[in-house]
A and B are shown apart, each in its own frame.
Chain A
Amino acid sequence: LTDLGDLNFQEDAEMRCTYSCGTSDHDASRRRFLGGLLGAGFGLSSLVRPAAARRLEEQQKQVLVIWMAGGLSQLESWDPKPHTETGGPFRSIETSVPGIRICELLPRTARLAHHLALVRGLNTSQATQNDHGKGHFLMHTGRAQMPGQEYPHLGSVAAKFLSREDDPLPGYIHITPGGGGLGRNDAAFLGPKYGALYLGNGKAPANTARPGQMKTEADDARQGFRRRVNDHFASRRRTAETDAYTTTYDQARQLMDRREIFDTSGEPERDKQRYGAHDFGRHCLLARRLLEAGVTFVQVSHSNYDTHNENFSFHLEQLGEFDQGFSNLIEDMAARGLLQHTLVVVMSEFGRTPTVNYLYGRDHWDAAWSIALGGCGIKTGQAHGKTNEKGTEVVDGQVSAGHLFHTYLRAVGLDPSFDFEANGRPIQLADPSASVIRELLA
């Protein structure tokens, strides 16, 4: 945190991020974006009134994504087809929404279905070709992955446009079972300071505790020196990268003061038990803590659903953890008012084949699968879209990931058609070939 040796004080054109020419025109802020939304008049009549816009600014919108890594089976979760050739051995159960049934592996979640909207008509086959990497990119950006083109992840968009500029907390935090660190390409043209901060295995970022032998005065002095040098450099050679360095330093220092938000050890024992003694339960409890602390975008990854082999036993194992952690998190978010201003998304790269293979497995399947939404801006208590009897194709309400991305943005009050200028050309935040799924919006 204190080593300035990595900073490059030599002006380097290659280091420049093309968005950041140093003028305020390209610094698209949430405030400016909302202004654009007001002027554009996209049918959100409440936003036409300045008072409503102020309320939106005052009430920070947040996003929670649960990433079911590997590809959750829609048949073992949101769109069961029991007693059919493709249905597998699990049965369906009633939910809190009459007429909507989900897989028996999710009994706790079933009781909270009124907080969710199921999207059962997802077809992403054109963009993903059942490929993990393409599916990951598509579901995070709402766009097909093309060579040489990068688009910001939903988390980076949220960090950029929903966070306050002076927010000391990282806007995009991703809790993973794996390693920690900073995301590399999540933010794309938005600039690296909106990339993800990964909390490996739910642990606080490394080196955020001040060395014990260093006194506060000494630390303040060296930080002051760093700022002066930075300011001097930025006055002549400001780039997105130097901005990111500066932001990272400042955030890191502020994080050191708020390190406790990553520490769930002080949470009540009862809550720890409710969420589960497994990693996913612990990570959901951390997500609750981060959302309550005001972090704009929190993603929790649960691994692993890529069940080419013994799909049913592995889904039993994994969804048992998911059902416990997720249901308690949703229940608490509802009780504490977080759902009113937090969009919730449960998604994967793709679904799994209706056909059960010879290994009792299911393979990759992007032609007819499901995700779940909830929280702010979403009309919950419904299932949108429908697959056929065996789950092999969508027969009603077919949507793509582009439609979902539009819907996410609109649900948190952002305008999906907003043009962001990158590389000298306007790029719409959400894929212009897709549109909002209006039936899903509250």
Chain B
Amino acid sequence: MRSTADPLKTHLAKDLAHDRPLVCCRFAATGPYVFAGSEDESVIRWNTNDGSKIQFKGHESWVFTLAATPDGQTLISGGGDGRLIWWPASAEKPEPVRLVQAHEGWVNAVAIRDDSEIAASAGNDRRVRLWSVADGSLLADLPAHEKPVYALRFDRTGRYLLSADLVGRVVVWEIATRKEVRRFDAGKLHKYEAGQGVDYGGVRDLEVTADLGMLACAGLVDASNPLGAVSNPAVLLFEGGEAKELRLQRPKEDVKGVGWGVRFHPDGFLILVSGGTGGGWLWFFRREESHEFHKVNLKNTGRAIDLHPDGQRIATAHHDGHLRIWSMTEGPAPS
């Protein structure tokens, strides 16, 4: 079903402020809420109707990742403390429902399957783990990565989970068997910079189309000076069935930064958020093209993105503590 979104009409609809830098963001699938994880170790929930804000406190480190159940009732956050915390997403005074010490070191990514039965998490400990959303029990521990794992995504059928890491290894897991069934090589988004002695880049975010026909990996290329933030944002597209690389998508101009997040829009285009020395940007790509057909300046370096299920609103998280909501329709953003 096509939405009424028009990327060319993208404009700032809401500017929601917090007093510390934000790291990640997520829309509630239903209801008026949008969430962000912060460097102040809290999760912030805004009501997009009236702009009111509530902080969820329970982590002992930065909050790096958020996932919500489709019914909007449960939010799971992952932090630098290695914890996953289950929250009552819409509660008036939210307190942790469950706290699981899930990883050694940071939890970089968390995802919830559409049936709300299984959650997945991934961390700097190079592990991918499956959890029962209902009781927080560990269902599986999936070892396939040799470097920190940055991104996770369930496919819409719920049969598969994709995980991706620092060196661009993307693994497709069959949930039922806990087996690896396919790999993609997104190594173009990674660089070992010998002079500085560092690995850099990797898959910073993953997105799959509903039919698993296409995979998008967000990250960076041209990392000539990783320690100095010299790189360009990019998206690497794969055809899902054959794990075949389709194209590298990148800005036409030399805008420095990292592609921190990517979303497929149901109308067929992709949206990439970038941040870095070149500022913060939204980039709109058609799947069949290598460069953007539209871009929007974000006012501050971008760090994360989410697309609302209505297909009309985009949330971006920023270093200046603001969560900005962008509308791709004319007039005020739909409530």
Contact = CB atoms under 8 A, between A and B. Distances in A.
Contacts of B64: 89
A70 B60 contact: no
Contacts of B332: none
B205 interface: no
A308 B124 contact: no
B124 A316 contact: yes
Interface string B167-201: 00000000000000000000000000001111110
A314 interface: yes
Contacts of B21: 356, 358
B228 A308 contact: yes
Nearest to B79: A89
A361 B229 contact: yes
Interface residues of B, number: 32
Contacts of A70: 227
Contacts of B229: 308-310, 359, 361
A388 to B, nearest CB: 19
Interface string A284-320: 0000000000000000001110111110011011100
Interface in A247-282: 279
Contact of A91 (B61, B124, B196): B61
Interface string B75-95: 000011100000000000000
Interface string B228-260: 110000000000000000000000000000000
Contact of A89 (B80, B148, B200, B319): B80
B229 to A, nearest CB: 4
A306 B227 contact: yes
Contact of B276 (A177, A279, A359): A359
B81 A279 contact: no
Contacts of A91: 60-61, 80-81
Given A83-B41, A303-B197, A316-B124, A89 B61 contact: yes
A302 to B, nearest CB: 8
B199 A317 contact: yes
A279 B199 CA distance: 14
B173 to A, nearest CB: 24
Interface in A98-144: 104
B226 interface: yes
B60 A309 contact: no
A314 B198 contact: yes
Find the residue from B64, B79, B197, B229 having the highest chain A CB count within 10 A.
B197
B277 interface: yes
A233 interface: no
Indicate the member of B105, B148, B195, B301 with the most A CB atoms within 10 Å: B105
Given A89-B80, A359-B277, A317 B301 contact: no
Given A89-B80, A89-B106, A309-B226, A279 B277 contact: no
Interface in A315-362: 316-318, 356, 358-359, 361
Contact of B62 (A89, A177, A306, A318): A89
Contact of A309 (B195, B197, B227): B227
B166 to A, nearest CB: 8
Interface residues of A, number: 28
A90 interface: yes
A85 interface: yes
Interface in B42-62: 60-62
Contacts of B196: 303-304, 306
Contacts of B319: 358
Nearest to A177: B197
Contact of A318 (B41, B79, B106, B197): B197
A73 to B, nearest CB: 12
B276 A304 contact: no
B301 A304 contact: no
Nearest to A308: B228
B197 A316 contact: no
Contacts of A359: 229, 276-277, 301
Interface string A182-198: 00000000000000000
Interface in B113-154: 124, 148
A309 B225 CA distance: 10
B58 to A, nearest CB: 13
Given A177-B197, A316-B105, A317-B198, A307 B227 contact: yes
Contacts of A313: 148
B286 interface: no
B198 A304 contact: yes
B18 interface: no
Interface string B22-36: 000000000000000
B306 interface: no
Contacts of A303: 196-197
Contacts of A310: 200, 226, 229
B197 A304 contact: yes
Contacts of B207: none
Contacts of B62: 88-89
B20 interface: yes
Q: Which of B62, B199, B227 has the most CB of A within 10 A?
A: B227
Contacts of A316: 105, 124, 148
Contacts of B199: 317
B39 interface: yes
A356 B303 CA distance: 14
B228 A309 contact: yes
A308 B199 CA distance: 15
B60 A314 contact: no
Interface string A157-197: 00000000000000000000100000000000000000000
Contacts of A306: 196, 227-228
A358 B301 contact: yes
A90 B105 CA distance: 8
A316 B80 CA distance: 12
Interface in B189-228: 195-200, 226-228
B64 to A, nearest CB: 8
A233 to B, nearest CB: 42
Interface string A72-91: 00000000001101001111
Given A83-B60, A89-B80, A356-B21, 14 more contacts: A88-B62, A89-B61, A89-B64, A104-B105, A279-B197, A303-B196, A304-B197, A304-B198, A310-B200, A310-B226, A317-B198, A317-B199, A358-B21, A358-B275
Interface of A: 70, 82-83, 85, 88-91, 104, 177, 279, 302-304, 306-310, 313-314, 316-318, 356, 358-359, 361
20 contacts: A82-B60, A85-B20, A85-B40, A89-B61, A90-B61, A91-B80, A104-B105, A302-B197, A304-B195, A309-B226, A309-B229, A310-B200, A313-B148, A314-B226, A317-B199, A318-B198, A356-B39, A358-B21, A358-B319, A361-B229
- Enumerate the 4 nearest inter-chain pairs by beta-carbon distance, A residue then B residue, closest first: A89-B80, A309-B229, A89-B62, A358-B319
